[in-house]
Structure 1
Amino acid sequence: MDKQKRMLAKKVLGYWFALEFLAQDKYPDSCEITGRIRKQKESVAKGTGKQKTVGDFIALTEKDAGKNLYKIIADEAAACGMTKWGNLTVYIGRVKREKCIDCIAEVLPFSLEDGGRPEHSTDKIAWASLQISPEGDYIDRSLSLSTIIWALSQIKTAKGDISRSLDDKLYSKAVEELEKKFFARGQESGDGQALADGAVSLSRLHDLYKEIEKRYIKGNIENNGNERDAYEEVYGVSFQLFADEAEKSKKEEDNYLGLSHDYFSDDIRMVFEQTENGALEEDGYLGRELLDYVTVLHKPDLQESRIDLVAPKRQGRREYLKQLSEILSIENAPLGKWPSRFMPALMQQIAVNLSIHKGTSALYGAGGRVFSVNGPPGTGKTTLLKEIVVSNIIERAVLLAQYDDPDDAFCAHRFLHGTGPEGAYSKYTRRWYSFAEDAVNDYSMLVASCNNAAVENISKELPKSMLGDLAPLDGDTDGLKELLKEAASLFDPEKSETMETTYRGEPYRDVYFTKYAQELLDSQDVWGLIAAPLGRKSNLTGFYNKVLYPLGRDFYKNKAMAQERVSAYQRAKKAFEEQLAVVKAMQKTLKKAGDLAAGKEKAVRDAEKVCRECETAIKACRGYIESAGKQLEELKEEGKQIRAEASLYEKELCQVKEELQAKEAELAEAKAKLKETLEKELQARRSVGIWTKLFRREEHRAALEIAEEYQKDAEYLRARAASLEEHIQPLQEQARKAREACDGINQEYKEFLLKVEQWERTITGEKSKISGYEREIVQAGEKAEKARQKYEAEIRAFTRSGISDSCTVLDEDFVEALLSEEVHRATGAQVANPWFTQRYNREREKLFGYAMRLNKEFVISSNHCRDNFITLSHYWGLRPGDENERIVFHREDKENMVPALFQTLFLLVPVISSTFASVGSLLKDVRQTGTVGMLVVDEAGQAQPQMALGALYRSRRAVIVGDPKQVEPVVTDDLILLRKAYNDDDLKPYKNKTLSVQGFADQMNLFGTWLDNGTDYPEWVGCPLLVHRRCISPMYDISNEISYGGIMKQQTRGPKPERAEKFIFDRSRWIDVKGKEKGNKNHFVEAQGEKVCELLETAFSKNPEPGLYIISPFTSVVSGIRDYIKQYCRKNSGVTKINSDYMLDYEQKKIGTVHTFQGKEADEVIFLLGCDTGKEARGAVNWVNKNIVNVAATRGKFRLYVIGDEEAWKASTCVSWAKDIIDTFAVKENGAALKPDMPEKESQEATD
């Protein structure tokens, strides 16, 4: 990993650490505790009190400063029927958070109003907290000073970089100063009570209050003017009461965290240290992915690598089909299935397969170890989780089945620092054990969420009886009914063949520790202990008392009991392996169907590839032929020119030759005549002898004259010959040149003829190639057609085999339907699940049943499991040691053994759930990476990114499930302001308050789709679930259109008539109610409250317990409507039909903000908007975004009633859009009800 990335990660982790350190929860809400204490006191007064322990909270004021704190506690304990108490947690002072926010905003050069802050905070926060032992001793280092009031003081005096003044070391120094001043050893008690030396008195707490007031409050926040209660001197005391010392000894000391309730900084620090030393990137588990996660906002754009699973425009349909075929191959799906007659929908199955990551191809390799799933409301996130759970349990069972004796699966380890035999802490458990094959740990599952309701929902939903989902329907064949019956029998505790006996000898039927699950979840409607909520101390205590303790009592009374169960384990192992063989054989057969489709598709792709390549080659050949033809034509033209030029040269040569021949003939004739003349001259001169010269002078003279004549003739002829020779020489040169030109042009012509021949051969060759390519196209088409015919002939066995053995085929027709613009057709494809048959699913469900049976027998026939459970109980402080003492383990032993203890616990309970806030404490001694096999984050869109760090660090794989289109994480306004003090450019993108675990994971995920968000830059989300099964229209339409770009498909059944008759109205509607809001950022409108009560009167007149929520975007409106209903019912007592206790019930919330209702649903929802048309409300109106509207609308399954001022809410694009959808739907509903022959006037009235 490059150094720059590591440095960035450290910077971000440091920033997150600071945010967690600065965050402070609101003052403890004691309403629920006060109610329980009142009931406890009443039952004690009546002599019916049976509680052994109870949590209490008392509020004291400055008037109580002179009283004896411990007498107050003792009196309270006595009234509650208790004699002992635990540590006292004291909250000192209280200030309005809003005043702190105002003060911070004055100092920092930023304004919250710029972000459209909708309303004021109504929270109060404590100034400080500390703990006192039951004996009155101050508990060292328990003092916690409000980070907010401390930060306020720091930023006022800061110079330069404000963020440097917010360092946690400076805070620790300030706390140490206070601690030294007020709680140094040797100080005397102010009230003189004979408790511990220096017992902390109320007067000393009062002194501490005054010191904090002087240092941090005065000069910043004042009680004056109209606000006399900006801060107040109060002392809240929280503590646990116990019936006796025995009960108290069972209780572990409380997990006191101070005021900040800082659940995450320890884990952030741990990840920071591992990043700094380079160990994280080398861990072999999620280390590299964790660093990618931390730095994801600076990650390069992965757009080219992303695979769009919904709108595959970039990859094209053919590649899309190939990708779907690979992802959905039957061998890449879980071997088992969650028992239900219904199959996961297409996108659910895609998400399951990619999550469990069984595929080995490059496509699966691109997925990485962190996978995100986007589940809009009602799209089956729990169904997805169930399938992953089943897969993990079966894959682990395959590994466990390798052992004939479960104890052979473990390696033994010694304790290092115990005081018992061999360094142990108990003589009965001298070793702790880890799995010999680490792969077993790949399949443990931790479900985490920042939403406690989501955690509880998972823990209740998984063990819940699924017999209703396996019930046959009227139209089912006898064969299918029998298959469903077989599968159901494995999960029906009443019909189970497995009989168990409690330690008392009471027999009962069991599926998977069913009795313990029923006790733990306080419900008979469960089948097994497949999940448990841990994390919180109360959950651990409940789990120990209702699971671990009775498990040991019933099955682990002695080591011989476990050995006696080995034969039962071996029978379960055999049954599992036999069923596994059945499933794998069926899988192999169904894989043939997939292979047929893949083979046909490959043949078609190959044919298309051949066609493309051949057509490309043919096109190239034809282009070459065309080019060659042009070249040939040009060459022929050139040839004509050559021939014409040659003709001219030949003509010239001929003329030169003729002229030369004529001249040469003349020369020859002249030379012949010259010779003859010379001979005649010589003869004439010789004809006169000496005598003639002497004696015949005339004759001599005549002869000389003749000779001279010949001489003259000769001279003439010689001159003539010379002249001719002069003419002949240039003619010869001219003839030579003409001959050379002719030879050259003739050679050029020969070469031309060769070129012509070559081009003609080339053209012939290219034409031959074209014929070959055309033959290849025909052959490829024939091959593809044969494959298609074979496919169509053989696939009938899988599509026409009856309801139990037929399956949906994944081919080009399926993809065409999937991507169809026709909603009904596309929806049909989305709800399908290719390749699975009813028979195969039933056998997979049976395999799951046999895997659970194997898992159970493995656990209870293993003494090593037994010992680890005992050690875990010791570690939790819930099981006393050999001398009935609490065992305290050495840190080194804890860090060595605790990971293995939890890994064994995951074997007993396959799914453990916890809030993020509790993960750090639950796994505080798990500092090894990869201890947990798979982390599942639920409602990840609500969790701030840093919340998941510790859970991710401890895991091997992660599946992040949530929805960024629902409400974002809640961040207090004071922290939003303090964030702005950090001005490092690298941290700018991390200041966005909408950032979530889901958003970070989505950016890492290559599988997903793009959502239109109304900008030029669509938003990438991870693998989306598309089939919506919660809401009818118009709630579905509001959600789908406003938040999801229309990609969801509706599969929601409407309410039955008898159910719908009890609803307030026959359809959803917008109810326009005008009025004046309270003002000062209190957006409650009394007229709207009146309308709500009118609706409630109707609701309660039809149903004494209506399934109804009242939801608002604003806390001020929620407070307003709760008060209004309370006053309305009091005013109309005896007349109103409204049950105020039912509507205002604290535990079963029916009224709240949108944020608090995420994950919940009701038949009807009143969405109470508040606000008026005044200027003061505009910011609040603009603050309401698509996410809030989406969540509010989708809480209502069948009806949504929006109450608001239409004029005021016109300014909100998303709210007015929702109104348009509601109105349009109403028109359609009324239009559908109109009779065809209804008069136009009546028709118009009906639709108005």
Structure 2
Amino acid sequence: MAPFDQQRLLAILDYWHKVEFFVPYGLDQRLDELEGWQSKVVLQAACLEAGSTQWNHIDVPVDKEITGYSLFLGVFDKSAVLTVCEKLLPIPAPLSDIARFEEEARADLEGQTCFAKIGLDKSGCPLADSISISTAPWALGQTLSQGLGALGASEFESARGYLINLFNNFFATRLDNASGPLTAGEVLSLHQTLCEWAGFYPGADQPLAVLEVKTKARATQEPDVASDQEPTALQEEEDEDDPVDDLDILNSFYIGDLERAMHSVRTGNVPAALRQYLTPLADDQRLDLYSDAGRELLYQRLRPRHLSIGHWLGNAEHPMSLMQQFALNQAGADLHYSGLFAVNGPPGTGKTTLLRDLFADNIVRRARVLSGLSSVNDAFSQQPLTVRFKDEERQVWPLIEALTGFEMVVASSNNAAVENISVDLTKRNALDATWRSVGYLQPVAHNLAVKVKKTGPVFPKDQDIPWGLVSCALGNATNRRRFREGLFFNTFKSDKTERPLTLWKWLDQEQPTSFASARAAFNLADKAVSTALAERERLAQLLEELGDGTQASYVAQAQQAHTHLQTCVEATDATVRENLRRQQEEEKDCLSLVEQQRLIDRTSPGWWARFWHTQAARAYTRQCAENAKLQLESHARLRALKSEALTLSSQLAKLEGQRQACERKLAQRSRDWETKTAERAALEQRLGVPLLPATLADLELPQFQIKGLWHDVQFARLRSALFAAALQLQQAWLHEAGQPKNRMRSNLWAISHLLNNKQPEDASHVLPVWQNLFMIVPVVSTTFASFANQFRGLQSDALGWVFIDEAGQAVPQAAVGALWRARRCVVVGDPLQIEPVFTLPRQLITALGQLSPFTHDDSYAPHQVSVQRLADQASRFGTYAPMMGKRLWIGSPLRVHRRCHDPMFSLANRMAYDDKMVFGLAQRNAPDTPLIDLPSSWVDIRGNVTRKQVVYEQIEFMAKVIVCLFQRDQALPKLYVVSPFKAVRQALRQHLMQIEWAGGVPRRGDLKEWVKRNVGTVHTFQGKEQDTVFMLLGADKGHAGGAQWAASKPNLLNVALTRARHRVYLVGDIELWGQLEHFSLAARGEHALARVTRNAFGIITKGGRAQTAPDRLGQA
């Protein structure tokens, strides 16, 4: 790696590393997630000094028992970061109203944080290997004492090592004094140690510590497992005698991976995907897919030979859109070995559909390797590894190399996005009805779908029973534990035909198709696809060769060549004849000169005249000389003509040969035309006539954008059947390989331990265990926050495929660990949807960027760019999109929108996507059975702000709509209420929980859950959709700054509009909001919403109609 490139990459990573130092741990968010009975004990200095041991006096429910505690030491307010910034950093220019609201809405500097978390066992004893520290206090202390320039990875490593020694001294002292529950004095001592270490001291009014109680169900029944199975493992109590050899980072999920990436840069071993992510392409390296050259590439890349071999089990009559096809095909080509591919997917354009086919294709390609094995054990290396987990060790058989590189991980910063992909894949409605009989480890997937509640197991409804275990949601330790328990241990009795089974019971009780039979079936399906693919590629070749379909055009080139040669032959032949004529004339001239010489000789003077050179003699001599000269010249011309004749004869023979060859070629071309025309007709008779554009410009037409190229029902079914056969082959392999004495059986033990958050002592053994897990579940998911912990021990390039979803929401440093571990990465998102939340003041982020010339221009600033933006900038294939008056390069765009009806589609398309999206639904108007029988409208309700952006009249109106719908239908309505502002969201949530629900009251728990799920800011609903959406705007003319901020970018309104499938209602002051950018499109113009008052909602009747009679919704 060139030194300049190395410095640049290190500067970017170091910048993000410094930013992460300051990110405060969200203690308040952690505590808010606890149930009410999980007591949150605040330890004030006064009670600690009195010697209180509060964790011994906590009441828990009778069905629970305490398993341990988490002690959060050194509590302080996140706003301390802002205080330090204001104290040390240059005073920034006053923020505009828009910038101020931007920081308020996107930054997260409210609530409590802390210095460290220490795990305690159930007796209250501290656990040496359960300590996590926050870097934020240390970063604040360093900045206060030495400035921002003193921050660095090496400085922190040194400080961390010093703190490890301090903790080891603390535990050594406890051993000397007979260990027991942590005392109040020890809590005070630890708090003082942390403050001195960090050089940062919270205010005296702050609590010293907060205690979280951890519990488990008191009575559990041991599962029924076979003797060779791994028994259920409860969380083991750790030994506090173990020394502290490392400290986990509490506040940042990304610091460790950033350090690993920096080490790779220093050693010159940067994975291709990460290097590409950090290296934007120059304009001349990009190919605009909307240009002529781009359309040529689109057309060629959509040829049948580039199609993926595996296809999801969907409706064969529903084609992928043209740009979905291109992204799928191009990603497969670009990522054959390694790299990064970015897809820019506006809402409703089929990102999930695209990813499903990528998954299916990978599964089929791995099945091809399996199909080449003679026996199931041939999938493993010949030599096992001895893998040791603490005090246990067993043999683990690594996979052969050919079966690796197919691991698939879905990652996102958004939990909902992760579930949308991995969880929804297993649902039966993810398959078309044609394929509902297909299953893959279906009883095991069913077992995982059973929810374990206090009252007992809750089985999924028939329609919710999963079809197969193609994916699972992992991530945090709780998810991994639940998956492990459902996979291996939880047993449930059911009288239904479809029984849930653990993997062990499935291996022992089920009898699926044998590996040999499944292999034969797969090979037949694979051959059918290969044959069909070859036929379609042959048809594509014939159509390209035969051109416009006339024989004249097909033979035109050969005919032209033949005509040219014929002309040349005729011209040369004429030249030959002319040469012969001239030779004949020249020969006559020669004879004439000879005759002339004979006559001259008859007048020759005697010898005496020649001797005396008489006049006659001189005349005679002159005549002879002249004649001789003429004869010589004639003979020379004759020789030249004969030489020319030889050349011409050769040329004529050659040309004639060429003419005859061309004539034969022309004849062959004519025969080829007839043969190929017949072949094309036969293929078209069998396959159908493909719909192809007459010109490349025609690719822009909706019919091609929607239906793509080279889609046909028969071939789609064959590819889906191949995917189904691949799943059956993988299932058959797993069943046989997992039998006793076969090699997969012992590997399951290691997988169980890994999912239980245990690590092999040899880090190189982690990857083989994960690779074996992916042979059970092809796709696993995780959030970025859990990525490093889930894949702890994996090195760079370890995972075959990483798919990043909703990448526009993720801060750029979040993806570094995933990209570092990925061999190939597909990034999918939309920068015109929700932007990332950043947790620090922008002045601090800017100041940290100023420390390096490579980051000073905010090109990598977390508050300015997202994962999607950087992936887009690194992509060769894409286009330019207008944004905020600039041209923004985006990755390969998806264009066909199949979610929203009008006016939502047209408004979003005009506002955010430069009218480049193509409407893909059957009809533009929404169905006739809406929740509220009122067209999409702008409900013009005005009022004065009571707090921040809250307008009470709008809150009251929205609450009454919800109440009336509940009273009408006796169910909480299926709608979303979206607001740009946190304050409006909170006001409506509180109002709904506090008002009296006359005429029927929902259960409080149900209402609380509904309010949490259905009322929120736009961030709440990213990646979700609903038939009806209300956007509650808030603000008034006297407090217009928030409205101006919300309208400054298309993102917020774009998200709200594109959540709504059938109806959208904007609720707010149209005179205020309707004048603002983007919102003005909804207030007036071609696609404007109808302007109505609250009276338009009237009485919501049983039929769902809104009448304009005096309304129950109130006139306030």
With the length of structure 1 as denominator, give the TM-score of the two structures: 0.68
2:416 maps to 1:453: yes
Counterpart position of 1:346 = 322
Is the 1:336–1:848 contact (alpha carbons within 8 Å) kept by the matching residues of 2?
yes
> What is the DSSP-based 3-state SS (H/G/I as helix, E as strand, rest coil) of the residue aligned with 2:116?
strand
CA–CA distance in 1 between the matches of 2:1034 and 2:784? 33
The structural deviation recorded for 1:831 is 1.6
Counterpart position of 1:838 = 713
> What is the DSSP-based 3-state SS (H/G/I as helix, E as strand, rest coil) of the residue aligned with 2:854?
helix
1:81 aligns with one of 63, 75, 83: 63
Is the 1:1038–1:1221 contact (alpha carbons within 8 Å) kept by the matching residues of 2?
no
Counterpart position of 1:464 = 427
The structural deviation recorded for 1:186 is 4.1
Counterpart position of 2:699 = 818
CA–CA distance in 2 between the matches of 1:157 and 1:1049? 57
CA–CA distance in 2 between the matches of 1:110 and 1:1091? 43
The structural deviation recorded for 1:81 is 3.1
> What is the DSSP-based 3-state SS (H/G/I as helix, E as strand, rest coil) of the residue aligned with 1:89?
strand
Is the 1:116–1:1183 contact (alpha carbons within 8 Å) kept by the matching residues of 2?
no
Taking a change above 3 Å as real, the CA distance of residues 603 and 1220 of structure 1, as seen in their structure-2 partners, is same
Taking a change above 3 Å as real, the CA distance of residues 177 and 106 of structure 1, as seen in their structure-2 partners, is farther
CA–CA distance in 2 between the matches of 1:810 and 1:325? 12
1:530 aligns with one of 470, 486, 491: 470
Deviations 1:161-201 (A, max 9, x none): 46569952475378569758977624999xxxxxx626322
2:160 maps to 1:154: no
The structural deviation recorded for 1:558 is 13
Counterpart position of 2:956 = 1090
Counterpart position of 1:1203 = 1067
After superposition, residues 965-1004 of structure 1 pair within 5 angstroms as 965-974=832-841, 977-983=844-850, 984-988=852-856, 989-991=859-861, 993-1004=863-874
Is the 2:422–2:473 contact (alpha carbons within 8 Å) kept by the matching residues of 1?
yes
The structural deviation recorded for 1:934 is 1.3
Is the 1:334–1:353 contact (alpha carbons within 8 Å) kept by the matching residues of 2?
no
Taking a change above 3 Å as real, the CA distance of residues 203 and 1124 of structure 1, as seen in their structure-2 partners, is farther
CA–CA distance in 1 between the matches of 2:957 and 2:986? 16
Is the 1:399–1:440 contact (alpha carbons within 8 Å) kept by the matching residues of 2?
yes
After superposition, residues 36-55 of structure 1 pair within 5 angstroms as 38=37
Matched AA of 1:1027 = V
1:1123 aligns with one of 971, 990, 995: 990
Counterpart position of 1:590 = 536
> What is the DSSP-based 3-state SS (H/G/I as helix, E as strand, rest coil) of the residue aligned with 2:883?
coil
Counterpart position of 1:912 = 780
CA–CA distance in 1 between the matches of 2:88 and 2:666? 77
CA–CA distance in 2 between the matches of 1:1222 and 1:1070? 15
CA–CA distance in 2 between the matches of 1:246 and 1:66? 43
After superposition, residues 109-124 of structure 1 pair within 5 angstroms as 109-111=90-92, 113=95, 116-118=99-101, 120=104, 123-124=110-111
Taking a change above 3 Å as real, the CA distance of residues 784 and 7 of structure 1, as seen in their structure-2 partners, is farther
2:355 maps to 1:397: no
CA–CA distance in 2 between the matches of 1:980 and 1:175? 28
CA–CA distance in 1 between the matches of 2:540 and 2:1036? 61
After superposition, residues 427-442 of structure 1 pair within 5 angstroms as 429=394, 431-436=395-400, 438-442=401-405
CA–CA distance in 1 between the matches of 2:672 and 2:1005? 70
Taking a change above 3 Å as real, the CA distance of residues 220 and 447 of structure 1, as seen in their structure-2 partners, is closer
Counterpart position of 1:266 = 256
Taking a change above 3 Å as real, the CA distance of residues 180 and 528 of structure 1, as seen in their structure-2 partners, is closer
Counterpart position of 1:663 = none
2:185 maps to 1:306: no
> What is the DSSP-based 3-state SS (H/G/I as helix, E as strand, rest coil) of the residue aligned with 1:866?
helix
Taking a change above 3 Å as real, the CA distance of residues 214 and 1075 of structure 1, as seen in their structure-2 partners, is farther
Taking a change above 3 Å as real, the CA distance of residues 796 and 439 of structure 1, as seen in their structure-2 partners, is same
The structural deviation recorded for 1:906 is 0.8
CA–CA distance in 1 between the matches of 2:1060 and 2:513? 53
Gaps of 5+ in 1: 39-54, 190-195, 224-230, 281-286, 358-363, 471-483, 494-509, 619-776, 820-825, 879-886, 1229-1248
Matched AA of 1:919 = F
2:518 maps to 1:572: yes
> What is the DSSP-based 3-state SS (H/G/I as helix, E as strand, rest coil) of the residue aligned with 1:6?
helix
Taking a change above 3 Å as real, the CA distance of residues 976 and 857 of structure 1, as seen in their structure-2 partners, is farther
CA–CA distance in 1 between the matches of 2:43 and 2:248? 19
Deviations 1:1147-1171 (A, max 9, x none): 8511111122101111221212222
CA–CA distance in 2 between the matches of 1:384 and 1:465? 18
Taking a change above 3 Å as real, the CA distance of residues 1026 and 807 of structure 1, as seen in their structure-2 partners, is farther
Is the 2:352–2:421 contact (alpha carbons within 8 Å) kept by the matching residues of 1?
yes
> What is the DSSP-based 3-state SS (H/G/I as helix, E as strand, rest coil) of the residue aligned with 2:872?
helix
Deviates more, 1:589-598 or 1:59-68: 59-68
Q: Which has the larger radius of gyration?
A: 1
Taking a change above 3 Å as real, the CA distance of residues 123 and 240 of structure 1, as seen in their structure-2 partners, is farther
After superposition, residues 87-126 of structure 1 pair within 5 angstroms as 88-92=69-73, 94-98=75-79, 100-111=81-92, 113=95, 116-118=99-101, 120=104, 123-126=110-113
After superposition, residues 310-389 of structure 1 pair within 5 angstroms as 311-313=290-292, 319-320=296-297, 323-341=298-316, 342-357=318-333, 369-389=339-359
The structural deviation recorded for 1:997 is 1.8
Taking a change above 3 Å as real, the CA distance of residues 954 and 31 of structure 1, as seen in their structure-2 partners, is closer
Taking a change above 3 Å as real, the CA distance of residues 276 and 1159 of structure 1, as seen in their structure-2 partners, is same
Counterpart position of 1:1187 = 1051
Deviates more, 1:846-855 or 1:1102-1111: 1102-1111
The structural deviation recorded for 1:1121 is 2.1
CA–CA distance in 1 between the matches of 2:484 and 2:335? 41
Counterpart position of 1:502 = none
2:878 maps to 1:1042: no
Is the 1:25–1:259 contact (alpha carbons within 8 Å) kept by the matching residues of 2?
no
Taking a change above 3 Å as real, the CA distance of residues 461 and 330 of structure 1, as seen in their structure-2 partners, is farther
Taking a change above 3 Å as real, the CA distance of residues 1102 and 1067 of structure 1, as seen in their structure-2 partners, is farther
Is the 2:1081–2:1088 contact (alpha carbons within 8 Å) kept by the matching residues of 1?
no
> What is the DSSP-based 3-state SS (H/G/I as helix, E as strand, rest coil) of the residue aligned with 1:76?
coil
CA–CA distance in 2 between the matches of 1:75 and 1:555? 39
The structural deviation recorded for 1:91 is 2.0
Counterpart position of 2:277 = 293
Taking a change above 3 Å as real, the CA distance of residues 365 and 378 of structure 1, as seen in their structure-2 partners, is closer
After superposition, residues 1145-1160 of structure 1 pair within 5 angstroms as 1145=1009, 1149-1160=1013-1024
After superposition, residues 62-73 of structure 1 pair within 5 angstroms as 64-65=47-48, 72-73=55-56
- Indicate the percent of aligned positions where both proteins have the same amino acid: 25
CA–CA distance in 1 between the matches of 2:471 and 2:39? 30
Is the 2:72–2:211 contact (alpha carbons within 8 Å) kept by the matching residues of 1?
yes
CA–CA distance in 2 between the matches of 1:27 and 1:596? 67
The structural deviation recorded for 1:783 is 12
The structural deviation recorded for 1:144 is 5.4
Is the 2:1028–2:1062 contact (alpha carbons within 8 Å) kept by the matching residues of 1?
yes
2:744 maps to 1:865: yes
Is the 2:877–2:892 contact (alpha carbons within 8 Å) kept by the matching residues of 1?
yes
Taking a change above 3 Å as real, the CA distance of residues 65 and 258 of structure 1, as seen in their structure-2 partners, is farther
2:1088 maps to 1:1213: no
Is the 1:1162–1:1195 contact (alpha carbons within 8 Å) kept by the matching residues of 2?
yes
2:980 maps to 1:1113: yes
After superposition, residues 790-805 of structure 1 pair within 5 angstroms as 795=680, 797=682, 805=687
> What is the DSSP-based 3-state SS (H/G/I as helix, E as strand, rest coil) of the residue aligned with 2:1030?
strand
The structural deviation recorded for 1:387 is 0.9
The structural deviation recorded for 1:214 is 9.7
With the length of structure 2 as denominator, give the TM-score of the two structures: 0.75
Deviations 1:307-351 (A, max 9, x none): 333x22455x6x35xx42334324533244433232222211111
Taking a change above 3 Å as real, the CA distance of residues 16 and 346 of structure 1, as seen in their structure-2 partners, is same
CA–CA distance in 1 between the matches of 2:18 and 2:528? 56
Is the 2:63–2:219 contact (alpha carbons within 8 Å) kept by the matching residues of 1?
no
Taking a change above 3 Å as real, the CA distance of residues 576 and 278 of structure 1, as seen in their structure-2 partners, is same
Taking a change above 3 Å as real, the CA distance of residues 117 and 22 of structure 1, as seen in their structure-2 partners, is same
